[in-house]
Each structure stands twice: as C-alpha cells, then as structure tokens.
Amino acid sequence: MIYKYKAINGNGEIVEGFFESSSESEVINMLKNEEYMPISVEKDIEKSAKIEIRTSKVKKKDLAIFCRQFYTMVDAGISIIRCLDILSVQTENKTLKKSLESIYIDLQKGITLSGAMKRHEKTFPPILINMIEAGEVSGNLDNILERMAVHFEKENKLESKIKSALIYPVVLIVVSIAVVIFMLVGVMPTFIEMFENSGAELPSITLLLLNSSKFLQRYWYLIFGGIAALSFLFIYYKSTKEGKKALALLKIKTPFIKITNQKIITSRFTRTLSTLMSSGIPLLEALEIVGNIVNNAVIKERLQDGMEGIKKGVSLSKTIRDMEVFPPMVYSMVNIGEESGSLDNILIKTADFYDEEVELSLQKMTTLIEPVLLIAMSVVIGFIVIAMALPMFDLVNTI
C-alpha cells in the first residue's frame, strides 16, 4: 500500500512524500528514523492501484547492468546504502527504479540487502536474492555481484540469439500473409466482375480463389474475431498447469526443435547451477532455484522428483541421467565433476560449450527454415497467379 505523509524536517520545513509500506505505523517509524516529526499519514488509494496494475518487466539486460554497476561501486569501497542511492537515481527501468528506492529506505532501517530484496520478488529473480544472501554471509558481496553480472550478461546474450534467429522467419510469415490478403481483397475484386460477365466456365482453382475472396470481404470480422478468440484461448491454456506441461513437453519432443531447445535448457541449467554452487548455495536449494530458471514445467517436475532421490543419497549425475532430458555429455561431465570435487568448474565449462552449440544450432535451424518458408510463399502466390491467369487465357482464345 502507498501512504502519503506530511512531516516537519530538522530545519522546521514541511515536507510531503509517498512511501510504500504494509502499515501506517511503519511509515511513522521511518519518518522518526529520518528525524522527521510526522503531521499526517494516510493511504493513497489511487497511487496504490497504479502500482498494482503496473506490469513493467525487468529484463536480463537491466539486471546485468544493475549488477555490473553495483559491483564496480562496491569494489571501489562505496557503502551499500550509497550505492543503492546512486543506482536508484540513474536506473532507467521504472520497476527496478521503484524497487531500489524502496530498498534504499529499508537499508536505512537496518534491514539487510537480501532481506529488502525479498520484498520485491517480482523485480529480482530468486537466483539473485539467494546469491546476495550468500555474499552477505560469506563477506564477498563484490565477487557475488561480479558473478551475477556475468551470469545475466550471458543469459541476455542467449535470449538475444534466440530472438535474432526468429526475427527473419516471423517477418517472412507476416509479409506472406499480408501479400495473400492484399491479392484476395485488393486485386481479385477487379477481376470478379469480368469473370462473371464472360459467361465462360471457370476452372476449379479460379472458383476456389473467387469464393475465398468474396468470403474474406464479406465475413472478415468473423475471421479476425475467430483468430482473436483462438489466440485468447491459447494464452489462457498456456497459463494453466496442463497447458504449461503440454507446451513444455512439445518443446522437448518435437523433432525439428527438440535438439535446439535441449541445448538452450542445458546451457541455462549448467550455468545457473554452477553459479549457485560456486557461491556456497546447498545443492538442493540450488536445484530448486534452477527449476524455476529453466522455465520448463516438465523439467521442473522431473527435477523435483530427482531431488527426492538426492535426499536419499542418489548422486546428481544419476539424477540427471534418469531425467532423460539432457544430452549424454552432461551426465558424463557431472559424473567427472563429482568424482574430482570440482563440479562447479565442470558445469561452467559445460555451459560455455553449449552456448556455442546453441548459436550453431540456431543458425542451422534458421538456414533450414528460410528456404521452406520461401518455397511455401512461392507456392501460395503462384497458385493465386495461375488461378487468375487461366480464365484470362480462355477469354483471349475465345476472342
């Protein structure tokens, strides 16, 4: 809840402001700690509502910049409170900025950095909060921040590669659909009357094209309404437990995209687990966090089942092998890491290897998709051109 307060500062001036808190007494305590004399504190319903409906997302790139700047200042000997003050001013992402302002106030109350960040779980991912907490306990917060900066930079790079690989196919599909609609709605009507007045018997493909054009012109709202309804149903289904599981299974079972998705998941799994374990996070806790980072319902479920086995003494390598998701190389590498006692180093090397594999796999997939889409586009447009040309040749022959 957002509270609006009015108070008198140390210079005798009246100041007003807003503070996000769970109770009025907490706002009063904050003002007293700042050596302000409270005059009034009241809920601001309008601002609270705006905060609730805000959906701005903190991207991996923003988190990477935040961690990198935070590390630089901490490494230079600047206090954490001063760092948060500087970061809250210069951060461009509105959601992150708001959270940092709140954390800055919490730190002044004596709350730990990780404790303050836990109040903003929608802003900061679990891996960052847990790593910050580990850094506070061990006393090497600067190293943790540098490690997290590298982690988010690589995550952002991976996401950028995936988006870049999908841009061309998506643009090509959109252009193809736009061209077909233009030809059916913009070009075909000029020929419909000529064909109908000719009295000649039209070929089947021309009739099909004419009927499609008429249907699109008359009932376009039904078509677009149906597409919107199906999109809504898909989004709803995707948000359900069954939908998440079905789509996750599709990603790791579909032959054409299975290998690429497998490599992406392996890269994220090994890097995140390595980052957590190298910072002293217990294996079971690290696996719990990794399950959320991988963002695949099937793998998360299998990982939770595997954690039950680890509690009973089953090795991590056997758990990974029994999941039947990761490439055989991962099982072998983890097994070597467990035997040598350098699991975190082995995992990060595995992650670096699969980063390169992901890039090659995405390039290969894009190379295969491009000609398929071009051929499909050529066939559709060629069909329309032939359907329009055939009756015109018949008319010329009749004349």
Q: Tell me: the pLDDT tens digits for 369-392? A: 888 888 888 888 888 888 777 777
pLDDT at position 290 is: 85
Instruction: Identify whether residues 178 and 140 lie together within a single domain.
Output: no
Output phi, psi for 41, to 5 deg.
-135, 125
CB-CB contact of 281 with 134 (8 Å): yes
Q: Is the pLDDT of residue 302 over 70?
A: yes
Q: 72 and 193 share a domain?
A: no
pLDDT tens, position by position, 18-28: 666 666 777 77
> What pLDDT score does 53 carry?
37
Residue pair 251/264 in contact (Cβ under 8 Å)? The answer is no
Q: Read off the pTM.
A: 0.68
Q: Are residues 149 and 168 in the same domain?
A: no
User: Which residues on adjacent β-strands are paired with residue 42?
Assistant: 4
**Cβ atoms 289, 132 nearer than 8 A:** no
Domain boundary among 135, 154, 173: 154
Give the pLDDT of residue 51: 43
Q: How far apart are CA 124 and CA 73, in angstroms?
A: 20
Q: Are residues 181 and 210 in the same domain?
A: yes
What would the two tokens of residue 391 be?
Answer: 């009756």
Which pLDDT value is given to residue 73? 92
Convert the pLDDT of each residue in 323-350 to its tens digit.
888 888 888 999 998 888 888 889 889 9
Distance between CA 124 and CA 130 in Å, rounded? Answer: 10
Residues 229 and 328 in one domain: yes
Q: Residue type for 360, please?
A: L
Separation in Å, CA 140 to CA 71, 221, 280: 11, 61, 11
Q: For the segment 166-190, what is each residue's pLDDT rounded down to a tens digit?
A: 888 888 888 888 888 888 787 777 7
70 and 20 in a single domain? The answer is no
Do 325 and 257 belong to one domain?
yes
* DSSP designation for 17: E
Query: Are residues 71 and 49 located together in one domain of the fold?
Result: no
pLDDT at 55 over 50: no
Q: Give the total number of structural domains in the chain.
A: 3
Residues 262 and 363 in one domain: yes
Q: Which of these, 325, 321, 322, lies nearest to 297 by C-alpha position? A: 325
Structure tokens at 322: 């029994």
Q: Which domain holds residue 117?
A: 60-154
Q: Given this model, what pLDDT does residue 1 score? A: 61
More confident residue, 3 or 266: 266
pLDDT in tens, 76-101: 899 999 999 899 888 888 889 999 98
> Is 123 strand, coil or helix?
coil
Indicate the DSSP class of residue 202: P
Residue at which a domain ends, from 154, 176, 191: 154
SS3 5: strand
Q: Is 38 helix (H, G, I), strand (E, B) or coil?
A: strand
pLDDT in tens, 111-146: 889 888 888 888 898 888 888 888 888 788 888 899
Last residue within a domain, chosen from 35, 53, 71: 53
Q: Distance between CA 230 and CA 252 in Å, rounded?
A: 24
88 and 37 in one domain?
no
The SS3 assignment for 41 reads strand
pLDDT, mean over the chain: 82
User: What is the CATH number for 91?
Assistant: 1.20.81.30
Amino acid letter, residue 73: M
Of 159, 173, 66, nearest to 117 by C-alpha is: 66
